[in-house]
Structure 1
Amino acid sequence: MILRIFNQMSGKNRKMKFRVRMMSRKAQRTNVKILKVLFVLFVFGLFISSSFSGAANEFISPSTGQTGYAQAERFLPANATSSIFNASVDPHWITGTQSFWYLRNSRNGQEFVLVDIQNRSKAPAFNHTSLAADLSSATGEPVDPSHIPLSEITVTPEGLDGIEKIGFEAFNRSWQFTFNKTNAKLTEMPSPPQPEPGESLSPDGKLAAFVRDHNLWVRSTETGEKTQLTFNGTKDYAYAERSETVSHPVTLVRLNETAKPYAIWSPDSSRIATFRMDQRNVSEMHLLQYVPGNDTRSRPWSYRFATPGDEMLPMYEPVVVDVARKKIVAVQSTAQPEVSLMDTEDDVLQWWGDDGRTLYSLYAQRGEKALQLLQTDPVTGKTEMLLEEKGSTFVEASLDYASQPNIRILKSGDVIWFSEKDGYGHLYLYGPDGKEKNAITSGNWAVRLLLYVDENASQVYFLAGGREPGRDPYYRHLYRVSLDGSGLQLLTPEDADHNVVVDPSGTTFLDTYSTVELPPVSVIRNRNGSIIMNLETADIQNITDMGWKPPERFSVKALDGQTDLYGLLFKPTNFNASEMYPLVETVYPGPWTIVTAKSFPVDMAWVNKIFWRAQAVAELGFIVITLDGPGTPFRSKAFHDASYGCLGDAGGLTDHIKAIMELSENRPYMDLDRLGMFGHSAGGFMTAQALLNYPDFYKAGVASAGDYDSRFYGAFRKV
């Protein structure tokens, strides 16, 4: 079937002949013994010496007179994103109100904006000229009203009734700016409690937790007094630390950084839920740093690192620490093996009930084929299992890697549970007895984020993708549905990716929506989805003045002939359809995330950097392609499962080959005789895999920091 599909694809640009070996399943599974670091040097040398070396000389110089490399530099991520204005609204909610402030970055400078949703008003948070003058006078430093160096800003609720009080940090001092319509006053204030590097501040701000000598301590932010809470922690049997498999110990030492405690405070600041991590029996990994700093002698590094197949893993014994009594309460449950949910600095496995009387947690087995929801009494440590789900592959609590689980425990004792048991990620309602009541959502689409539960109205608000016909299934939309599964309603009708934040009262939503063609638009919506306030529309004039045009969105069929795959095709700003262009495919096979941007790339997020680097490379005279193949997330479970237990197949390399051939059918400017690939990390592996398995198709490549042997992944990865 695969050969027949490829044989049917013929065109004047495709001169190479594919051998049967190329499409065989056996050829997909690269022999890990030959994927050594030496191949990276070989790949890079091939890239330099191949026909690509002349590609940069074939572009047509832009009419602006910019050389190719200078034009490309303008589209590097930091340069491109700094040329975009009014692109995002990061709300800082004001306690007890329906108001927030945000920092507006316009082409004229920065402005602090105050939004009052109740009164439908948006205005400068204060008189920037007045504050700048007062701050300059008080400090003796020049202060530009359009770039006031403020941080740690707080707005008091009474500020909404005529007299405003803005607290902030500037020039390493604390200030309060009090003003109304006629008067203003700047006053230096005592510095408020702030966490130091490596500390976690308590909810009431009075204590900061930190780790010293592998034990948990707290520091009074008022007096500076430090109190030890645990006493028997050791290097490999430590409190509130993650294992060296996931914590990057060499990097921490080299950068002189301190990790925050792997722990969560109770809402009343009286307890800390954490783990005692045990890696005493984990094998060591040894590295050699050839040129450490300015030294000429190599430096060895050793740390404990568990790999797939190892019998001994880092284990985490859950405990609750009573801060006032300095008492350790052992949680009565099995020690947690290290899993992918722990591949983040934030502890997403545990969370407190609103009243702080109950600790909830997830227990994931090694391999993540089973997931349990546990309930713990923090006073006694008594623990019971509320529900459990098992599967033949991974059982996930969210489609976003190592993120907050899409789980809620309601006041009634019912549980909203996320599951892919019907083939897509959906929400289900379970009773306190652990038995399923009903599906809340269903269908051939996926829930991405559980946003808010209105228990009084028995309604759930969530983001999901793939439900709306004819739209990119990766686009997130806001929906509302009743807990019994009835009344599903789309609240964001725009055909775009919606990044939604709910206000603390759950009555309105801040929605910033965009596509790679549509710059971000930020609005406030009510519970019915109606727009009640317009906040910002991004200004991309500087980008378009460079000649930039959005990349082409495309979809192609996978090798199965049924599944749609989605990607982007980037062209240089001086594109000429009568010319022939070499191709570069930028890849990341997953399975943790995707490589193709869905929203407008306004910041330095990982996928956005890939977007702008692709445009920069295109400026050198290339067509650049990104594509997300089978084994990557955010689609059906079957789509993601393609990489479970066979990480080398993630991304579907043969699907990529088919896609490129299909795209070139009606794009004669694509020169398949000059096709290369670039990838970093897992993308580096895929690049080496492509060159070694399909050298007749991929002629050159650069594999950056490739994971060439999955046996050296952390054991928590599902390889």
Structure 2
Amino acid sequence: MHFNKILLVFFLAFSTLLFAQKKEVSLEDIWGGEFRQERLQSLQSLNNGQEYVVLERDHNTGETSIEVYNYKTGKKSRTFLSTFNLDSLNSFQSFQFSEDEGKILLSTEVEPIFRRSTRDMVYVYDFQTKKLGKLTDRKVQEASFSPDASKVAYVFENNIYIKDLATGEESQVTTDGEINSIINGVTDWVYEEEFGFVKGFAWNKTGEKIAYLKFDESKVPEFSMDLFGKDLYPTQSVFKYPKAGEANSAVGLYMYDVASASSEEIKLGDYEDFYIPRIKWTQEPMILSVQVLNRHQNKLNLIFVDAKDNSSKVVMTETDEAYVDITDNLTFLEDNSFIWTSEKDGYNHIYHYSKDGKLLDQITSGNWEVTNYYGFDRKSKKIYFQSTENGSVNRDVYSISPNGKNKKRLTSGTGMNAADFSADYSYFINSFTNTTTPAVYTLNNAKDGKVEREILNNKVLLETEAAFQFSPKELSTIAVNGNDLNMWMIKPSDFDASKAYPLLMFQYSGPGSQSVSNSYFGTNDYWYQLLANEGYIIACVDGRGTGFKGAEFKKVTYQDLGNLEVQDQISAAKELGKRDYIDAERIGIWGWSYGGFMSSNAILKGNDVFSMAIAVAPVISWRFYDTIYTERYLRTPQENAAGYDENSPINHVEKLKGDYLLIHGGGDDNVHVQNSMRMVEALVQANKQFDWAIYPDRNHGIYGGNTRLHLYNLMTDFILEKL
């Protein structure tokens, strides 16, 4: 064969090989689970501190098991429980041990209610007798063992019940529960969504008392949603939803005495309009801690209730000019002194108070944030926490003495580190990720952070991705409006700095949120890779109001949501548009929920910068959103009408110049489709052309069946056509 022909054949073969190596990502790949990361499911330490359990499921048979692993060796010690050996139960979705790990509650047939709440069929398994039995024939909420595991309390149809496991006798703690009127033992919609909890009752350490919350929803306005389903006639979902400025549930705290089977309301003080965002028993069996928050959410009282006589006293008060964040960090030590986190010095830090509420020590300090409080080890006298000391986009795990000395960094990788400690604090399982590393789980010694072994990694995912030749997620900062804002950017894999690319910006921007972090790809990042392959640059900027850079940076948007955050997105787009490789005439923006509120405002207020926007499930007017979230940042509409209206997209529709796509789920119980319908009407009356889509019966997440795939096809086509 002639040399030139040989060369040509070689070149063609090499070109074919290169072409074969570069696979094109598809939406079917993304939503079909091609890039799913392996994780440890339902990881939980056993009491001995030397073993942990994980929930495992056989995807072929559906059988579920709780497997026990040894921390030190990583080897499976035994199977704690498997449905393979249970005749009457094929699988379960979650589990809960009794305190002594002698019994376990298994939840199955889980039926979602709202974001965090479910109704479950619950089974009780006794490891000593090897017997499995139904707790009750009804689906219940928040089943919970008494401390000695002799009883289980649960909620059914807004009433609390107690089941005696030895006798099978069932007693009713409350009788006044009524749908859309009175709720006992679980929270109402707005508490669940905004204070992040559902279970509204707690056993004391001796099992003699149950403290519980009662919500009177009778004066809360009802919201109704049409659900179209598949039947001839649609149905309605009707539930209590307090919109900003409207009546909240009247909440009360009650103490139930198990022996006398009687309840008494606790008088907490002279409060008129308030929340009880947390209750928690202290180390003293008869002392209950209660957090009471005023409606403006800028004053929080920590109250101790003595269950012997149901008296109460304020132990500590936390105030803030803007608002006080609610956390689960309150921890009681053996002497009933307590650990508390606060932003009172400008950054979130750990404090130690006596049982009488006297400040003993500020344990951490500095221009960085404590982002997670893991607990206190009584043996080593160490407090364990996570923080941003190594940069706001990173997280590390630390130990420190209660007096604030001997702080030690226990993680070494630069990125996002998160710990799960053994019950005796001898080990922690660290999950680590950064922009180039999907989740890696390691066993670390809690004393010095030394890595004992690797438990799980995602090298298989990296091997899968290699064929696609994805572009890296580049972290940087951008100087905007006097601040260095965190930013990430994804460029086409064949990026050429001499070309000008269209830019798509993503953001969420809600108070205290973070979209820019040193972490690996999420599902949307694979979609951005698809768009990058089509010749787009994608960027995300965390503007003012977002979290982990101090209270001032976060709370600067107080009473004025949608102003400074939108200015930052517009200014960032302008700055990026000055770069030679970005086409300033082709800049788009998109977001979901708060991000949809932002993207809508951006294309209206920044109509000379953004030529395209997509808003998914957006808040269009904060007057339509709930009391707790909205009033925390804006106060009430009656007090701050301008804060509600001046930055509402509905009042700026005449400014629309570019291409706008509006998307909502028709069954969204959180951000109601009312928002988008009002936006549609305003745009129509302003004679503005736009695109929109409603997904019938879908909630705030807009998923189920092919829904997500359809949604992302819709958005992809819109971007390709309009940007």
TM-score (norm 1): 0.72
1:319 touches 1:328 (CA, 8 Å); kept in 2? Answer: yes
Corresponding position of 1:75: 30
Alpha carbons of structure 1 residues 331 and 315: separation in structure 2 relative to 1, 3 Å: same
Number of the residue aligned with 2:570: 657
How far has the Cα of 1:223 moved from its partner?
Answer: 5.9
What one-letter code is carried by the residue in structure 1 that aligns with 2:398?
Answer: Y
Task: Give, in angstroms, the shift of residue 122 of structure 1.
Answer: 2.0
1:123 alignment partner in structure 2: 75
Determine whether 1:243 maps to 2:216.
Answer: no
Asked if the contact 1:105/1:111 (under 8 Å) is kept, the reply is yes
Q: 2:243 matched to which residue of 1? A: 307
Residues 616 and 354 of structure 1, relative CA distance in 2, 3 Å threshold? farther
Equivalent AA in structure 2 for residue 583 of structure 1: L
Q: 1:520 aligns with which of 429, 439, 444?
A: 439
Distance 1:113 1:297, change over 3 A: closer
For residues 406 and 298 of structure 2, the distance between their equivalents in structure 1, rounded to whole angstroms, comes to 33
Counterpart CA distance in 1 for 2:448 and 2:398 is 10
Deviation readout 1:4-40 (Å, 9 max, x if unpaired)? xxxxxxxxxxxxxxxxxxxxxxxxxxxxxxxxxxxxx
Question: Is the Cα–Cα contact under 8 Å of residues 49 and 422 in structure 2 kept in the other structure?
Answer: no
Give 1:507 deviation, angstroms.
2.1
Q: Which residue of 1 aligns with 2:554?
A: 640
* In structure 2, distance between residues paired with 1:213 and 1:135: 33
Superposed displacement of residue 476, structure 1: 1.7
After TM superposition, the structure 1 = structure 2 runs for residues 227-626 of structure 1, keeping only pairs within 5 Å, are: 227-234=171-178, 235-246=180-191, 261-282=199-220, 284-287=221-224, 289=226, 292-295=228-231, 302-310=238-246, 312-334=247-269, 342=277, 349-354=278-283, 356-398=285-327, 404=328, 406-455=329-378, 457-465=380-388, 467-468=389-390, 472-526=391-445, 527-539=447-459, 540=461, 541-560=463-482, 563-573=483-493, 575=495, 577=497, 579-601=499-521, 608-626=522-540
SS of residue in 1 equivalent to 2:544: coil
Deviation at 1:661, TM superposition (A): 3.6
Measure how far apart 1:124 and its partner are: 3.8
Q: Deviations over 1:687-709 (max 9, x none)?
A: 11111111111111121121111
What is the identity, as a one-letter code, of the residue corresponding to 1:683?
G
Q: Closer, same or farther in 2 for the Cα pair 1:654/1:332, shift >3 Å?
A: same
Q: Is the 1:681–1:705 Cα contact (8 Å) retained in structure 2?
A: yes
C-alpha spacing 1:440/1:589, structure 2 compared with 1 (3 Å): same
Which has the bigger relative contact order, CA under 8 A and spacing at least 6?
A: 1
Contact 1:317 1:336 in 2 (8 A): no
CA–CA distance in structure 2, aligned partners of residues 630 and 394 of structure 1: 17
| Aligned counterpart, 1:716 | 628
Distance 1:158 1:707 in 2: 46
Distance change (3 Å), C-alpha of 1:387 and 1:127: closer
The 2-side partners of 1:657 and 1:96 are apart by 55
Question: Do the aligned residues in 1 keep the contact of 2:393 with 2:415 (CA within 8 Å)?
Answer: no
Alpha carbons of 1:479 and 1:193: their partners in 2 closer, same or farther (altered >3 Å)? farther
Separation in structure 1 between the aligned mates of residue 157 and residue 79 of structure 2, nearest angstrom: 48
**Deviation of the 1:193 alpha carbon:** 6.1
Instruction: For residue 271 of structure 1, report the CA deviation from its aligned partner.
Output: 2.8
Q: Distance in 2 between matches of 1:168 and 1:314?
A: 32
Asked if 2 retains the 8 angstrom alpha-carbon contact of 1:152 and 1:169, the reply is yes
Cα distance in 2 between the residues matched to 1:150 and 1:244: 26
For residues 461-510 of structure 1, give each alpha carbon's deviation from its aligned partner in whole angstroms, at most 9, with x where no partner exists.
Answer: 21111x23xxx313221122222222222221321211101111122221
Q: Give the Cα separation in 2 of the matches to 1:305 and 1:154.
A: 31
Give the TM-score of the pair, scaled to structure 2.
0.71
Deviates further, 415-424 or 187-196: 187-196
SS of the counterpart of 1:648?
Answer: coil
Cα pair 2:47 2:424 within 8 Å, conserved: no
Displacement after TM superposition at 1:683 (Å): 1.2
SS class of match (1:687): helix
* Unpaired stretches in structure 2, ≥5 consecutive residues: 1-17, 110-120, 635-723
Please state how far the C-alpha of 1:459 moved relative to its aligned partner.
Answer: 3.0
Verify the 8 A CA contact 1:193 1:222 in the aligned structure 2: no
Q: Which structure 1 residue ranges, 5 or more long, are not aligned?
A: 1-61, 142-147, 160-164, 179-186, 249-258, 343-348, 399-403, 602-607
Q: Aligned residue for 1:50?
A: none
SS at match of 1:520: strand
Q: State the alpha-carbon separation in 2 of the partners of residues 135 and 244 from structure 1.
A: 38
Counterpart Cα distance in 2 of 1:153 and 1:299: 34
Select which of 130, 136, 141 maps to 1:198.
Answer: 141
How far apart are the structure 2 equivalents of 1:111 and 1:415? Answer: 37
Partner in structure 2 of residue 686 of structure 1: 598
- 1:628 alignment partner in structure 2: 542
Deviation at 1:242, TM superposition (A): 2.6
CA deviations on 1:429-486 (whole Å, 9 max, x unpaired) are 2233423233211110111122121345543221111x23xxx313221122222222
Give the Cα–Cα distance (whole angstroms) in 1 for the partners of residues 66 and 141 of structure 2: 29
* Change over 3 Å in CA distance of 1:221–1:588 after alignment to 2: farther
173 and 590 in structure 1: CA distance in 2 versus 1, 3 angstrom threshold: closer
Q: Tell me, in whole angstroms, the C-alpha distance in 1 between the residues paired with 2:420 and 2:27.
A: 35
Cα distance in structure 2, aligned partners of 1:340 and 1:211: 21
Decide whether the 8 Å contact of 2:154 with 2:162 is kept in 1.
Answer: yes
Query: What does residue 116 of structure 2 align with?
Result: none
Distance 2:73 2:105 in 1: 21
Q: Say if 2:276 and 2:291, in contact at 8 Å, map to a contact too.
A: no
Identity fraction in percent = 21
